[in-house]
Homo-oligomer: A and B are copies of this chain.
Amino acid sequence: MTKKTTIKDIADKLEVSPSSVSRALTNEPGVSDDLRERVFDAASRLNYIPNSSAKSLKTSRSKTVGLIVSDIRNPFFLDFMSGVERVLFPREYKFIVCNTGEDRKKEEIYIKWLIGQGVEGILSSPYQDGSNENNALLYRRAMKNNIPVVFYDRLLKEIKVIDSVTLDNRQAIMNGVMYLRECGHERIGICLHRRGIYTIEERYAGFLKACEILRIEVIEDWIIDDATDPVEASKRLKMILGRAHRPTALISTNQYINELLLRVARELKLSVPGELSLMGFDDLSLNDLVDPPITTIRQPVSDMGKIAATLLMGRIDGDSVDRSTVVLKAELLKRESVSVLSGP
């Protein structure tokens, strides 16, 4: 029987004091982020099994998980939380909501709190911006700290070990473009929430792929790559739609943008779908009461919540199966915002 790794072994290895190692492992203050990272790496390499801190958390069972959301005002999260809650409540688990507001630093603070607080797991739609600036290291630290993480909606591609539930975003948009093409549209623009976010990159890739297959010309100018500032995005859209050669159809990539596109069309007095067709993304029940009822790509959001929570509960209960990557299928709700054009 090999000797069990102790805190002293880690301290010797890193040439620091055992108390620093202990503080790092229990997420107490007084240790630099860098050292904390090195301690966790060494602990992992040496197969260190905590017997007080992490284990006592496990034993005392906080029965609480963290839910990291990127923007709490997005109606997506209502359905998502209701799905999560349906799985957690019967198992006597609760969730702490952490709204990052698309801010990396805020997410960092929240993850550290959650680890320090002794949550038993984390559900996250992680921050990302297209650069390598994200909190992958912290998610790894949580995992090393015996706090399983499940990503939902978004992924950090550099982490291969975390379970995930996402939409088949590419296929969703490809089906949308194919439907537009079926209706005779060949001049199609797309309004992206923001480049760099996993879901948005996937949706954009689906758009490009569909255009390629269907031999639809991609006009750079008709791709709005950041609609997070609605005023700026409106300006761009008005410019594009004001020209003689303009798209006959626009594709949205979330509920905010559905509304933005409708508003812009109204301001320009373009009739929808007569003069401009709109394909929405996400679905609020009100979407079929607007004028016109919006044809939209619906995600099974509540199911996404249920599955994410179920995967997390499995990990908390000790599942050690391979990583699960669940990919869900979107549904195209055909309403009245897409017109059928006569042939060329």
- Which residues of A does B touch, CB under 8 Å? 62-64, 67, 72-75, 77-79, 81-82, 85, 89, 92, 94-99, 106, 110, 113, 117, 259, 262-263, 266, 284-287, 289-291
Contact = CB atoms under 8 A, between A and B. Distances in A.
What are the nearest 9 A-B pairs in CB distance?
A: A291-B291, A286-B286, A289-B290, A94-B96, A85-B99, A290-B290, A72-B82, A262-B289, A73-B82
Contact of A113 (B67, B73, B94): B94
A89 B106 contact: yes
Contacts of A96: 64, 94-97
A229 to B, nearest CB: 16
A87 B201 CA distance: 33
25 contacts: A63-B117, A64-B117, A72-B81, A72-B82, A72-B85, A73-B78, A78-B78, A81-B97, A81-B99, A85-B97, A89-B99, A89-B106, A94-B96, A94-B110, A96-B97, A97-B97, A259-B285, A262-B289, A263-B289, A266-B289, A284-B286, A289-B290, A289-B291, A290-B290, A291-B291
Contacts of A291: 289-291
Given A73-B78, A259-B289, A117 B97 contact: no
A79 B73 contact: yes
Given A63-B113, A72-B78, A72-B81, 4 more contacts: A72-B82, A94-B113, A259-B285, A284-B286
Contacts of A284: 284, 286
A266 to B, nearest CB: 8
A78 B79 contact: no
B113 A92 contact: yes
A99 B82 contact: yes
